[in-house]
Structure 1
Amino acid sequence: MAEIIVPELAESITEGTIVEWVKKPGDTVEKGEFIVELETDKVNAEIISEEAGILKEIFAQEGDTVLVGAVIAIVEAGGVAAAPAPVKEATPAPVVEAPKAAPTPVVEESSSNERVIASPAARKLAREKGIDLASVSPVDPQGRVRVQDVAAHGTAPQAPAAKPAEAPKAAAPAIDESRVTVEKMSRRRQTIATRLLEVKQNTAMLTTFNEIDMTNVMALRSRKKDQFQEKHDGTRLGFMSFFTKAVVASLKKYPYVNAQIVGNELHLNNFYDVGVAVSTEEGLVVPVVRDCDRKNFAEIEDAIGGLAKKARDKKLQIADLQGGSFTITNGGVFGSLMSTPIMNGTQAAILGMHTIQKRPIAVGDEVQIRPMMYVALSYDHRIIDGKDSVGFLKTVKELLENPEDLLLES
């Protein structure tokens, strides 16, 4: 008999949501065969069976949230497929019911037998620290204990052990289903919302803009694309390799744009791992192209294309998303003329590309129609001053308007 356990995928991931059971109770399972898909905050993971046999029982349904380390199924070695065993109501490891329209609190018995409302992360941290949840004073007026409350417990004088007065609960408005469609917010979308809000709250973010005359890049690409594709086994020459190379050259010139704050220190990265934002059905993900300073145009195009395909096919691994030092996002593929992109994680800046639009531009003493693109650099003002942010974006502009210089720089 083998237990199917939710594996540890990364240090920051403590739980996931079951997307689909590929195998059902009573089905034959081969060793190494994919039996269930799990959605985490960052990636979708395929969980396999370590033993051949029959899927005897499952302990969590599609849509349930399960903790890392939870036993979610049993595979019985050998034997012949029998009638499907009933799905158990109880679970041998913690399983948190997935939220319907809003997150559902986890109700847990504290050591004092008092029922406490707590998030899964708070429950896990309290268990690790040996803290009685009933003794934690929640900030939430509804009395829900969050991980921040557990972390802060005991670090400052505690108020008398009296239960906070319950705030009056607002009556939820009735939903007219003929006028409103309610959708469950996916785990990925919840995580995106949390991360973006954290960046907005924890950084001094500003955005500076410029515009790029794309005439010369488009002309060079038009002249070379067929030759490029033939030489590099079908790899297409796109704009992303030009922008990535321009970014790398600019980061070398302005190293603080490639930095991050760690405690009271500034860490200036001497590597150029560029995240490229990719839109998927579940939301935006940012896989990372490694060592862009060492890659040629074809290698960058191949890397971006491969990562984008993995993202759309839900095949990205945690390693594909970690360690980026700068990010490029291209809202232009959706027709965006201008935007203020939000920085990614602990990075200091992000470059936003936009749609190419023909506009009348003064060229010397003449007015000409040129293909123009607005670009935006959002940056953390705690690290980067206006001089560097403007200089960085101006360098990107100059290199792309003179792509022969870009080839020399790269």
Structure 2
Amino acid sequence: MNEIIVPQLAESVTEGTVAEWLKKPGDIINKGDIVVELETDKVNVELNSDYSGVLKEVLKQSGDTVKVGEVIAVIANEAEELAEPAPKKKDAEGNSSYESEIDQGSPTQGQQRPLAFPSARKHAREKGIDLNAIPSSDPLGRVRKKDVDSYEATRQSGEKKQLEVEDIKNVTQNNTREAKRQTEGKWHQSDLNNERIERIKMSRRRQTIAKRLVEAQQTAAMLTTYNEVDMTEVMKLRNRRKDKFYEQHGVKLGFMSLFTKAVVVTLKQFPLLNAEIQEDEIILKKFYDIGVAVSTDEGLVVPVVREADRLSFAEIEKEISDLAMKARDNKLKLGDLQGGTFTITNGGVYGSLWSTPILNSPQVGILGMHKIQKRPVAIDDDKQENRPMMYIALSYDHRIIDGKEAVSFLEKVKQLLEDPEDLFLG
């Protein structure tokens, strides 16, 4: 027998959720076949089999939480699967000995041996519980480890937690009346049992996003400063060069590469925004791995453009395009998401005019782009023009970055984008 074990998924990732079994018990498996897909905090991970054989047993079902190092399935080689069961040894009294296979005590005469997973048998044996007494939640009637735990919890609670049927009815009726009274008709207890509401379990990724967004605001002293950029020159430059750029590089010239280049140049001038805090130390990073926020069906992910300071505009555009496609196809690897030093997010693609980006911990800075919209701008004392304007926002950790530095950072980004020729040629 060989086991499928949850591998080390990534640094700081200790557990995941079984998303989907791609093989079912009884299927023949070849070495290298994808057997199961796990959902982690950041991406989905496909587990390949290190063995050939037959999938003997699945120990965790879709939706179950699994930890690194945990056995989630058993693979038998075909010889083991086809072999007849070995005769059971007899003890001195003539009783069959099932060793590790059987629960505490042997079945009595005429009593069928209960179906159970090996992990459940072992668990029940350790707790001194008779498997015959445990109700199964498995569609095939097999007792699972969680069934043992559930039975034990019920047994321990005992009669002191049980109420007479009439008492339960009375309590339920009283609670229902009180709930209706307190909500003043805003919603009804009966809604819980009909189609007027729907309860949906959050995916692991959504749970993690929610947790980290709250942690970021509770941990960092987050502030946001705003400015606006006249996008006239950037748009002119892009329109002049886009056709030739595409012919030469096979990728479109977008705004993200221009913003990425502007951010990298500015980070070199303001290094604290390319840092992180570790206890009582500031870690200054001399490399520029820029995270680019991408929206997916399951939430926002932030793949990283590595060594952005060393990449050309075309290389940045290609990398962003590839990462965005991977994100939307759910093919990002954990390595694509780790180690960013600063993040850029663009709510403008969805029409956002103004927003406050939240820090991507442990980073201390994030730049928010927004929708380009024509607005009247004073050119001089006597002249106004409608210009394509974009609000930009910088959220930063005030624990190590002062307001003056944050405002100056954003002003520098603005200047580079409003006069982009040197930035582009450089």
User: Offset at 1:249?
Assistant: 0.7
Residues 141-184 of structure 1, C-alpha deviation per residue, up to 9 Å, x if partnerless? xxxxxxxxxxxxxxxxxxxxxxxxxxxxx999662533212111
Residue 226 (structure 1) aligned with residue 249 (structure 2): no
Q: Name the one with the larger helix percent.
A: 2
From 303, 322, 330, the equivalent of 1:287 is 303
Q: Could you tell me which residue of structure 2 aligns to residue 156 of structure 1?
A: none
Q: Which residue type is aligned with residue 190 of structure 1?
A: Q
TM-score normalised over the length of structure 1: 0.77
1:381 is aligned to 2:398: yes
CA distance in 2, matches of 1:236, 1:340: 28
Q: Secondary structure at the match of 2:208?
A: helix
Which residue identity lines up with residue 370 of structure 1 in the other structure? R
Pick aligned residue for 2:417 from 393, 396, 400: 400
Question: What is the Cα deviation at residue 237 of structure 1?
Answer: 0.8
**1:70 aligned residue:** 70
Give how far 1:291 is off: 0.7
Once the 2 structures are TM-superposed, how far is the Cα of residue 252 of structure 1 from its aligned partner?
0.8
Query: What runs of 5+ residues in structure 1 fail to find an aligned partner?
Result: 98-104, 117-169
- TM-score relative to the length of structure 2: 0.74
From 243, 247, 266, the equivalent of 1:250 is 266
Q: 1:50 to 1:213 in 2, by over 3 A?
A: same
Q: Residues 122-149 of structure 1: CA distance to partner in whole angstroms, max 9, x if unpaired?
A: xxxxxxxxxxxxxxxxxxxxxxxxxxxx
Task: Give, in whole Å, the separation in 1 of the partners of 2:231 and 2:251.
Answer: 22
Question: 1:404/1:315 Cα in 2 relative to 1: closer, same or farther (>3 Å)?
Answer: same
Contact 2:258 2:424 (C-alpha < 8 Å) held by counterparts = no
Q: Write the mapping of 1:102-251 to structure 2, written as runs, cut at 5 A.
A: 175=192, 177-232=194-249, 234-251=250-267
Q: Given residue 274 of structure 1, which amino acid in structure 2 is its aligned partner? A: I
Q: Which amino acid aligns with 1:223?
A: R
Residues 106, 24 of structure 1: alpha-carbon distance in 2 compared, 3 angstrom cutoff: closer
Q: Distance in 2 between matches of 1:30 and 1:62?
A: 22
Does 2:283 match 1:267? yes
The code of the aligned residue for 2:305 comes to V
- Structure 1: how far apart are the matches of 2:356 and 2:224? 6
2: CA distance between counterparts of 1:402 and 1:79? 72
- Separation (CA, whole Å) in 2 of partners of 1:91 and 1:375: 56
Distance verdict in 2 for CA 1:176–1:78, change over 3 Å: closer
Across the aligned residues of Structure 1 and Structure 2, the Cα RMSD in angstroms comes to 2.8
Letter in 1 for 2:372: I
Instruction: Give the partner amino acid of 1:182.
Output: R
**Residues 108 and 115 of structure 1 are in contact (CA less than 8 Å); yes or no, is this contact kept in structure 2?**
no
SS at match of 2:295: strand
Structure 2 match to 1:351? 367
Deviation of the 1:88 alpha carbon: 5.2
Aligned length: 339
Partners in 1 of 2:35 and 2:205 — Cα distance?
A: 21
Report the AA paired with residue 45 of structure 2: A
Q: Given that residues 362 and 368 in structure 1 are in contact (C-alpha distance below 8 angstroms), is that contact kept between their aligned partners in structure 2? A: yes
The change in CA–CA distance for 1:87 and 1:254 in structure 2 (over 3 A counts) is farther
* Cα separation, 2, equivalents of 1:282 and 1:203: 25
* Structure 2, gaps ≥5 residues long: 83-113, 124-136, 138-145, 158-174, 180-188
Instruction: Find the aligned partners of 2:39 and 2:21 in 1 and give their Cα distance.
Output: 12
Q: Which residue of 1 aligns with 2:102?
A: none
1:370 correspondence with 2:375: no
Residue 78 of structure 1, CA deviation: 3.1
**Cα pair 1:276 1:327 within 8 Å, conserved:** yes
SS of residue in 2 equivalent to 1:197: helix
Q: Which amino acid aligns with 1:268?
A: L
Following superposition, the deviation at residue 392 of structure 1 comes to: 0.6
Following superposition of structure 1 onto structure 2, how do residues 304-319 of structure 1 map, counting pairs within 5 Å? 304-319=320-335
For residue 281 of structure 1, what is the amino acid of its counterpart? D
Contact 1:216 1:401 in 2 (8 A): yes
* Partner of residue 328, structure 1: 344
Contact in 2 for aligned 1:276/1:304 (Cα 8 Å): yes
Could you say if the C-alpha distance between residues 321 and 107 of structure 1 is closer, same or farther in structure 2, counting changes exceeding 3 Å?
Answer: farther
- 8 Å CA contact 1:60–1:91 kept in 2: the answer is no
**1:319 Cα deviation from its structure 2 partner:** 1.4
Would you say the 8 A contact 1:2–1:76 is kept in 2? yes
Is the Cα contact below 8 Å between 2:288 and 2:341 reproduced in 1? yes
Q: Aligned runs of 1:41-52 on 2, under 5 Å?
A: 41-52=41-52
Tell me if the contact between 1:358 and 1:371 (Cα under 8 Å) persists in the aligned partners.
yes
Given residue 343 of structure 2, which amino acid in structure 1 is its aligned partner?
Answer: T
Alpha-carbon distance in 2 for matches of 1:209, 1:71:
51
SS of alignment partner, residue 253 of structure 2:
coil
Q: Distance in 1 between matches of 2:281 and 2:266?
A: 23
Q: 1:15-44 deviations in whole A, cap 9, x for unaligned?
A: 111111111111121110101100011221
How many Å separate the matches in 1 of 2:78 and 2:147? 37
Matched residue type, 2:295: S
Alignment CA distance shift 1:75-1:260 (3 Å): same
Question: Going by fraction, where is strand more abundant, 1 or 2?
Answer: 1
Secondary structure of the residue aligned to 1:37 is strand
Preserved CA contact (<8 Å) 1:27 1:81? no
Structure 2 CA distance for aligned equivalents of residues 237 and 264 of structure 1: 42
Which has the larger Rg?
2
